[in-house]
Structure 1
Amino acid sequence: MQLKPYARNLAVALSLALLAGCSSGGGTQDGSMDGTRGGAGSGVAGSGVSGSGVSGSQVGGTGFGSGTAGQQADGRIPQQRTIYFEFDSDRIRSEFEPVLASHGRYLRENGNARVVLQGHTDERGTREYNMALGERRARSVERFLSVQGVSPSQVEVVSYGEERPAVRGQNEETFAQNRRVVFAY
């Protein structure tokens, strides 16, 4: 009975092919921290990003979440589509709550809209741990949106862990830019 080992190997190969296909997209193409294309003119205070990293105020908290950051009055998808996390944490930082509230408002007002919450980590830690942490981060955003009244059918969660860094480097500035959840509409 050679069929059983053959069928098992075929199932494993198909599963691996499916996983490889699922991980081929996502992330921002231009490497911008706020998830918008082009960075300049995005309307988000303090969203400028240089190739060498970000200033401490942008990831440290004063560049995001003040005033109406990420909010759209005309029903468009909020411009700021990335929020950041502290090291080894899935707790939503208070400066990003207005951004999440604007996404929640958009999703509630547009019942046909769907979003994929992409959880990311920096490269520290094992691959398995980082996959779990990326998922926990995305799930905490999903819970926040749920409390805001967003339908669970509008939200999908995926974790990329450390596999899709926004920037490459070995310092705290680059690590901070990689600890994120991206809203992919």
Structure 2
Amino acid sequence: MRARAIILCVVFMLIAGLGTGCSKKQIESSPASPAVEERMADQQNKEQLAKEEQARLERERALQEQALEDNRKEAAAKKEFTEAVVELGNMIHFDFDSFEIKEEYRPLLQQKAEILKKYDNVTMVIEGYCDDRGTEEYNLALGERRARAVYEFLILLGVTPERLSVVSFGEEEPLDTAHNETAWAKNRRAQFRLSY
């Protein structure tokens, strides 16, 4: 029995010695080899380059989107301006032997004044016309009075005089060459020529 106790004691000490020896054993790490360090540096460089490329692509996409938005705004502004020019070109008509602006044309002239105030780079020539009844001199004078009436009305609405001018064509350049009331009514007009 005693031998058995000694054997157990020895075995116990061996087991205890091995357990403590393993727990005290430390593993030392060796520094990375130059090849490993180089691969790690390459990987970091690739990641950095990928981030920079992604940032460049995002900046480029933002610039393209801004350019598209600018183009859309410019196209919308051009369309609005073109529509305004068409509106400015609408003519007005007068009664026989009259240069009084008809009530029905006053809203159109007010609209023209607003457009002219909005687009300060546009100037307008107001052209006065008559039908072919009356003398040439009389019709030139009447055409002048018609254009001048429109000119003064637009100035009263706030358009600066420097942007307007008048000219009379009298009975020249008729819209309709027939000799009837329908044709004469078309030819008694003020029309508008723009420059911008």
Cα distance in 2, alignment partners of residues 96 and 109 from structure 1: 20
Q: CA deviation at 1:80?
A: 5.4
Q: Which of residues 155, 170, 175 is equivalent to 1:161?
A: 170
Larger radius of gyration: 2
Distance of 2:147 and 2:103 partners within structure 1? 16
> 1:150 matched to which residue of 2?
159
2:145 is equivalent to residue 136 of structure 1? yes
4+ residue runs of structure 1 moved beyond 6 angstroms?
none
In structure 1, the residue corresponding to 2:131 is in which secondary structure? coil
Alignment match of 2:123 (pick from 104, 114, 136): 114
Shift of 1:81: 1.4
Q: Which amino acid aligns with 2:130?
A: T
Correspondent of 1:179 among 169, 172, 188:
188
Aligned-partner SS, 2:120: coil
Normalising by structure 2, report the TM-score. Answer: 0.55
Aligned-residue identity in percent? 43
Shift of 1:183: 1.0
Q: Assess, with a 3 A threshold, how the Cα gap between structure 1 residues 79 and 106 changes in structure 2: closer, same or farther.
A: closer
- Offset of 1:111 from its aligned partner? 1.3
1:90 is matched with 99
The CA RMSD over aligned residues, in Å, is 1.5
Quote the Cα distance in structure 1 between the aligned partners of 2:169 and 2:128: 6
Matched residues in 2 for 1:167 and 1:150: separation?
31
Number of residue-to-residue matches in the alignment: 113
Other structure's SS at 2:100 match: coil
| Gap runs ≥5 in structure 1 | 1-73
2:90 equivalent among 81, 87, 96: 81
- Note the C-alpha offset of 1:156: 1.0
Task: Determine helix, strand or coil for the equivalent of 1:97.
Answer: helix
Q: Deviations over 1:109-131 (max 9, x none)?
A: 11111011010000000000000
Structure 2, unaligned runs of 5 or more: 1-79
